[in-house]
Structure 1
Amino acid sequence: MKIATVTNFPHGNDDIEIAVAETKAAVAYGADEVDVVFPYRALIAGNAEVGFELVKQCKEACGDILLKVIIETGELKEEALIKQASEICIKAGADFIKTSTGKVPVNATPEYARMMLEVIRDMGVAESVGFKPAGGVRSAEDAALYLGMADEILGDSWVDARHYRFGASSY
């Protein structure tokens, strides 16, 4: 069984030093995977650089450990911002892009998932970057919808443990 943990969670602050320190600590304590929250508020305010640097430095701290970056789609809301955040994360070295923390009013939606999967396809990184819808995936039917979308956009053989995960929610 793999151990995954979160950093910069759930707030997605733009303090790179703290996010990197949390990520280094997670790795030191034995995490096999780290999910870091992207500084989405900074991107909304027009500062894309802090997100790139935060993800890049957290990936450096992870080394070979998988880094999943939560972009908080329900807070970004706009297609342009969701695609920009996805692209920034991929360019900075993310192993996965993830929709949400599950801690905001709107989390994973099929529309947001499609945007992110299309970025993976359009950037030509389907072999190296995975996807994780999280928050709002509550049933087998929900899961089937997201899996079908991944098959449609990235091909029937893309979904596997290296490329696809779910973050489930229950209330």
Structure 2
Amino acid sequence: MNDGTKVRRAGELIARLDLTNLNDDCSEADVAALIEKAETPSGPVAAICIWPAFVGFARRELSARIKVATVVNFPLGGSDIDATLLETQKAVQDGADEIDLVIAYDRVAEDPGFVEAHVRTIRANCGHAKLKTILETGKLYDEATIRVACNAALSGGADFLKTSTGKVEVNATPASARILLEEIAKAGSTVGFKPAGGIRTFEDADGYMRLAETICGIDYPTPERFRLGASGVLADLLAVAQGSERPGGKAGY
């Protein structure tokens, strides 16, 4: 990849970034700082992803061209559909554009029908908001179970398949990403894909976008269908986009 291609690619990745703060001690001031970062020198990120408590504040303060994403049933993926439904309805009312739902991943192997029903219920109550289903692939352990989770979420009407919460030991990996993308390709749909957790460098981010292009087609990973769930990768992407010194002393190119 030559220097010009890297600069262009880094800008494309920034436009597909869900800039995230889901720290336990996140405050309104932290969200305000995230909003400020979201309008980067290389263009806006796709969305910010924050706790539900801050959705109303973020929607008031954020440019309309940047989406507000929030999380429900997060991070443990419980089985209380009513509680998740209330979270979702409140988030949509407050102005959320996207809902990132943790599925009941501990029930996938034994009761995928429950997972499908859970997703379908939340999808029916999202209104205009997109539903991104978090499968927590690092807790599903084997390929077959991950594929069952994908199919349950897709059957329930998910708009996106997302790998991880970023809160467990194993988050996004190329292997799990490949499985999700293969199931999206089989469905022949426009379902989106979001790897999350452990994406720290331009090379990490670019690798996932290349994988999406390879499996789902070169035109697949638009900002509407491909997102990167990360908080720490922005500085590296900006350095590459601007040809400046990268964190860790790497050259911008």
TM-score (normalised: structure 1)? 0.95
Gapped regions of structure 1 (runs ≥ 5): none
Aligned equivalent of 1:84, options 130, 148, 157: 148
Contact 1:102-1:169 at 8 Å conserved across structures: no
Q: Distance in 1 between matches of 2:225 and 2:67?
A: 15
List per-residue Cα deviations over 1:69-117 (Å, max 9, x = no partner).
0000000021011111111111111000100000000000000000000
Q: 1:49 Cα shift?
A: 1.7
Matched, 1:130 2:192: yes
Q: Distance in 1 between matches of 2:133 and 2:102?
A: 6
Q: Distance in 2 between matches of 1:170 and 1:17?
A: 34
Matched, 1:149 2:214: no
Contact 1:136-1:169 at 8 Å conserved across structures: no
- Pair 75,169 (structure 1): closer, same or farther in 2 beyond 3 Å: farther
Contact 1:134-1:169 at 8 Å conserved across structures: no
Matched, 1:11 2:71: no
**1:59-98 alignment runs, 5 A limit:** 59-98=123-162
Q: Distance in 2 between matches of 1:170 and 1:2?
A: 19
Higher radius of gyration, 1 or 2: 2
Q: Give the percent of matched residue pairs that are identical in Structure 1 and Structure 2.
A: 46
State the partner residue of 2:55: none
Aligned length: 168
Q: Distance in 2 between matches of 1:153 and 1:2?
A: 26
3-state secondary structure, aligned to 2:198: strand
State the partner residue of 1:20: 85
**1:28-47 alignment runs, 5 A limit:** 28-44=93-109, 46-47=110-111
Q: Distance in 1 between matches of 2:137 and 2:231?
A: 16
Q: Distance in 1 between matches of 2:175 and 2:106?
A: 21
Q: Distance in 2 between matches of 1:170 and 1:4?
A: 17
Q: Distance in 2 between matches of 1:165 and 1:100?
A: 13
Q: Distance in 1 between matches of 2:72 and 2:219?
A: 31
Q: Distance in 2 between matches of 1:144 and 1:124?
A: 23
Q: Which runs of 4+ in 1 moved over 3 A?
A: none
Q: 1:169 Cα shift?
A: 4.8
RMSD over aligned CA atoms reads: 1.2
